[in-house]
Every structure is written in C-alpha cells, then in structure tokens.
Amino acid sequence: MKLRKVTAASATVLALALTATACGSEDKGGGSGSDGGKKITVGIKYDQPGLGLKTPDGKFTGFDVDIAKYVAKELGYAEGDIEFKETKSADRETALARGDVDFIAATYSITDERKQKVDFAGPYLLAHQDLLIRADDNIAKGADLNGKKLCSVVGSTSAQNVKKDFAPKAQLQEYPTYSQCLGALQSGRVDALTTDDSILAGYASQDQYKGKFKLAGLKLSNENYGIGVKKGDAEMVKKINAALEKMVQDKSWDAAVKANFGPANYQNEPAPKIGNIVK
C-alpha cells in the first residue's frame, strides 16, 4: 500500500514536470511576446525628438521608432514584443556585432566605412545637412554664414564641414547638447545651428519651439539613413527591405514623416529607392 502511494506521487510529479517543460518550449518558440513569447530588440536613439526619443513616462516616439515598429510588425512581432535599446552613435557597430540588438534604426547614415562592419537595409530616408535659424531670419546660402555665429555640439563634424566648405569666416560656437544650441539660437547668442535637417526638424517641432525656428533649406550634404543589421545577415536585410517597400507603398511612410516632422515645415525628399545602398 505504501509502495503504491509513492508510485502515484512520483507519477504526479513527473506529469507536472512534463507539462511545464512542454509549456516552456512552446513559449520560447512562439507567442505574441506579451505572455513570455518571442521578442525583438531594436536599437534607437533616446535623445532625438522627432526621430528617436524616450519620453519621461517611458514611451518611445519619433520617425525612427515608427519605422522600427512597422518593420518589426512585418517580421511577425507585435508592438509589445519590441524591446527598444539605446544605441549611441559610437556604440552601434559593437551592439550589432555582439548581438545586443537585432537591428538598428537610429539616424544611421550609410557610409562606405560603416559597410565594412555592418550590413544595411534601406535607405529609408534621405536627409541633408542644413541650418536651423530663427523664424524671422534668412540665410540663402552657406557663404551667408561668414561673420555669423554658428552652433553645433562638441565633437560634431557638421559645423567643421560648414567652415571648411562654405563659410570659412563663420564663428563656431560649440555646446554640449543640441538643446543648449537651441537656447542660444532663441536668445540671439548664435545665428544658426547645423546638423542633419531631419534632426533639426525634430527639435524645432517640440511644443516649446513651434513657430520660433525654421530650416534654411540649404541641403549641404546627402545623408542616407539605413537600418543596420549584423554583418552577413543577408536574410534579415531582405526581410527588412520588403517591409520598408510595403511601408512606402501603403503610405505609412508618408504619414510617419508628416506626424514627426510636419510642425517644422520639413521639406522632405521622396522616399528613397529601397535596396539602393549608396554612400
């Protein structure tokens, strides 16, 4: 009698263990993610309004975020399956190589140097280096900056490019952050702020700056933003390109541009040809 009780108890434990193992295997291989299923990790910027921004309440907004959500959906992931991870410019290649992220959408300009380290899908946006100026000012060409105060962030090449190629007599003022440059522009301490027009439009679209600034529209360079993936992952590149093509075709791309850049009167380029990886 005692032996039968032990056997019955053992059988119960074994049955429970098998059930738990089966459930664990099912969760790992599928599901919507919100109940412990599959997840996808996406690298974005946390500090670029209009592109990639983590708000105080923990939400993520911006054009890059909208691109990432659409792509993830086409890859089979619901919005709740996405884990956004901050990837600063200097960390992007390392994050992909280590597998910290599955792909990166973070104002990631496609260059020959970067293509040696990562693969790119896209491009999904053609941006240009430009100037942000006060709404009542006008700068028609780069040379108009000669003698004026030009702001950019410490370590940025944008202002140096302007001084080198367009306005050698511009007075460069460097600040730690773009927000400080915006404050200096608003107060009149500087005459212009320079970086990619998409980034400038995002900052100018913030509620506290609406109507105070405008883009000069100079198009001082071409910046093709791509989605970075681990080097050699041709299948992922193919899938992401297909998702981007669909986003353009169904007009979700246009809606994302308008929602994130519209308040700054951003004159965006048409959606670039997906799969045309250029410098």
135, HSE (Cβ side, Cα atoms, 13 Å): 11
The answer to whether 25 touches 80, Cβ cutoff 8 Å, is no
The answer to whether 54 touches 96, Cβ cutoff 8 Å, is no
Q: How far is CA 101 from the centre of its chain?
A: 13
pLDDT for residue 249: 97
The answer to whether 181 touches 151, Cβ cutoff 8 Å, is yes
Element (H, E) at 121: strand 118-127
DSSP string over 148-200: SEEEEETT-SHHHHHHHHT-TT-EEEEESSHHHHHHHHHHTS-SEEEEEHHHH
pLDDT for residue 266: 79
pTM over 0.85: no
pLDDT for residue 36: 53
pLDDT for residue 163: 83
Residues in the chain, pLDDT under 50? 1-35, 279
Give 9-38 pLDDT, tens digit per residue: 444 443 444 343 334 333 333 333 444 569
pLDDT for residue 16: 40
Distance CA 96, CA 91 (A): 9
pLDDT for residue 164: 86
- For the record, the structure tokens of 136 come out as 């009542």
Which region holds residue 219: left if phi is over 0, alpha if psi is between -120 and 50, else beta? left
In what side-by-side order are the strands of the sheet with 118-127?
Answer: 82-86, 40-44, 103-104, 223-230, 118-127
Q: How far is CA 92 from the centre of its chain?
A: 11
Q: CA 255 → CA 59, 259, 262, distances in Å?
A: 19, 6, 10
